[in-house]
Structure 1
C-alpha cells in the first residue's frame, strides 16, 4: 500500500499531466507523429506552436509514455500515444479535448465555490450545459464525439449482454449522434428505432444512422423529454441522461416515459451506479463532474434508482453489468 502522501502528491501532479495531454490533443501532436519521428522544431511548425514551449511539454509526455525520444531532440509516437490520434477507432482525443474545454476546465477549478453555496459556478458563468452547447456548435460537436468515445465499451456490451424483445421498437431518449441506437439495431435486425433529441443534435443523428445503413429502420425526432417522448414503443433507453438532473427532474423524465410506454414495455437506464463502499470507483469521479456542471445532477446508487422508479410507477426488474463501471438497470410497469 503506497503511503498516503504519495497518493495525495500524485493527485496534485495529475493536473500537470492532464494539461500536457490536453496540449497534445489540442495541437494534434499524435496526428503529426503518425508517419514517424520529427524533431521538436519541425513538429512545432506543423502544430503551429512555439518550439521551446512544445519541447517542455514533450518532456512531460515522454514520462507518460505517449511519446518517446528517437534521437537528439527527436520524438516518436508510442503505442499508448496512438490512442490520441484522431483517425483511430478508439481515439480518446475528443474526450481529452472536451474535459479541457474552457467551460469544463473552469467548472472543475471552481468546484470549491460550487460546494460553498450548492449552486454550479459553471451555470452562473456559462448557463446550462445544453444551452452552452447549442450556442457553440464546435463545442457541441466535440461533446458528441466525447460521448461517443466514452460509450464505446458499454455500448458494445449492451448489444451483447442484454436480450432485446423481437420485433420491438426502441426509443433512444436524448440519443445524441445515434451511436448507441445504431449498435443495438445492427445486433437486432428485427428491431426498429426512434431517436429523440434537441433540434441542434438531430441532424448529426440522421447522418449517423444513414451512414450506418439504418435510415429505413429508424426515425429521428426533435423534441424535449420534459415535454414528452414518442408514445407506444416497447423499449425506452435513457443512456447517461438521468445523472444530469436532480431527483425532481429525473422523476419528470421517467413519468413521461411511463406515460408513453406500452403496458408490456420496459425502461432501460444506462448509468454508472455508485457502490455503497468507499473504494475508488469511476462513478465517484463522474459524480464530481455532475456536481460541478449541473445544479442537482448526480450519480446514484442502485437503491436510489429503485426509489426513483417506484415514484414513477416502475419497478427495478434486472441489472446487467456492462463493464467500465457502467450498469444497465431495467424497469417495468408496476
Structure 2
C-alpha cells in the first residue's frame, strides 16, 4: 500500500470492517461470549449462523480488537464488552441502528444525493421519522442509539454551565428526557418542561422518574414548528437543529425567541464543526445527515452565529463537551 493511497485504502477497508462488526452485533455474539470463550461452531449454533461464515466475520473483528482468538475459539476483549446487550455503555444499539437497511441504502446512494441535492433516502422512504414510525422495533432501536450518543456528555452536562441561575428550562424536542433529567438532577431548584410530539412525550416519564426529578418537570406535547411553551428563562435544543435546513432551523429558533422571557438564554447542543480540514466526528455525522435528511446538516461556529442572528439571538460562547459535542450558548439579541 503506497503512502499516497493509504487514506483511500483505509476508507475502502473500513467499510468491510464495519460490515463485519455489524454482523457480529446483530447476531448477538457478544452476549454469548460474555461468560468466556466459545468454539466457532458452538457460537454459530447459539447465534443461528453459518459457522464458516461467522468465523470469517470474527477473524475480521479480531483484527479490530473486538474479540481475540484462543485455544478454545474466540473470547471478548474489553472493547468487545461494549457490544453486550444492556451492558453499561453498550454500543450495540448504535451499531445495529447505523447498519439498518435504510441507512445502508442512504450511504450507498450518496452519489445520487450529491448529484441531485435531494436525499435518495427521502426519495425512497420519505421522511426519516415517518420511516421510524412505521416500524416500532426500529423506533425503539433508534431511541436506544440516541441514548448511546448522549452518554459521553450526559454525566457532565449539568456541570458544564451554571443552570442554577435559571428558574425553568424547556427541553425542546426532548425525546425520552434523559438529558433534561441529568440537568435537573444536578440543579435541585431548577424546574423543567419536556416538550415533544404527543406520541413521544409519554416515554419521558420513566427517565425523569428514575432520576427523581419528575415532580419538578412538566410534560407538554406539541410541534416546535408551530410554537413552544412560553415564559421560561432557558431553552434547550439538543440534537434538533442538525435535522433541519437553515430555513427550517430559523423557524424553530424564532418560535423559541418569541416564547422566551426577557433576558432568557438559549442552549444548542450539537457537534460544532471545525473551520479547517482537521478530522472531526461531526464531519462523519454530516455525511449521514446529508444522506438521510433533506436539508439536515452539522454546522461550524460561524454558521451557528449566522443562523442564530437570523432568529434574533446572539452567540455568546461555545463550551466543548465530551464526545465531540459542544454547548452553544446564545442570548436574545435586543436588536433581533
TM-score w.r.t. the length of structure 1 is 0.96
1:232 corresponding residue in structure 2: 231
1:53 corresponding residue in structure 2: 53
1:10 corresponding residue in structure 2: 10
What does the per-residue CA deviation read over 1:26-67, in whole Å, with 9 as the maximum and x for residues that have no partner? 111111100111111111111122222111111111111111
Separation in 2, partners of 1:224, 1:206: 19
SS at match of 1:200: coil
Deviates more, 1:35-44 or 1:318-327: 318-327
TM-score w.r.t. the length of structure 2 is 0.96
1:298 corresponding residue in structure 2: 297
Residues 176-195 of structure 1 mapped to structure 2, 5 A cutoff = 176-195=175-194
Aligned-residue CA RMSD in angstroms?
Answer: 1.3
What is the deviation of 1:269?
Answer: 0.4
2:267 corresponding residue in structure 1: 268
1:242 corresponding residue in structure 2: 241
SS at match of 1:18: helix
Deviates more, 1:196-205 or 1:127-136: 196-205
SS at match of 1:61: helix
What is the deviation of 1:241?
Answer: 0.7
SS at match of 2:282: helix
What is the deviation of 1:319?
Answer: 1.5
SS at match of 2:175: coil
Residues 146-157 of structure 1 mapped to structure 2, 5 A cutoff = 146-157=145-156
Deviates more, 1:47-56 or 1:186-195: 47-56
Separation in 2, partners of 1:219, 1:28: 38
Residues 24-173 of structure 1 mapped to structure 2, 5 A cutoff = 24-71=24-71, 74-166=73-165, 168-173=167-172
Q: Which runs of 5+ in 1 are unaligned?
A: none
Deviates more, 1:301-310 or 1:243-252: 301-310
Deviates more, 1:194-203 or 1:12-21: 194-203
What is the deviation of 1:167?
Answer: 5.4
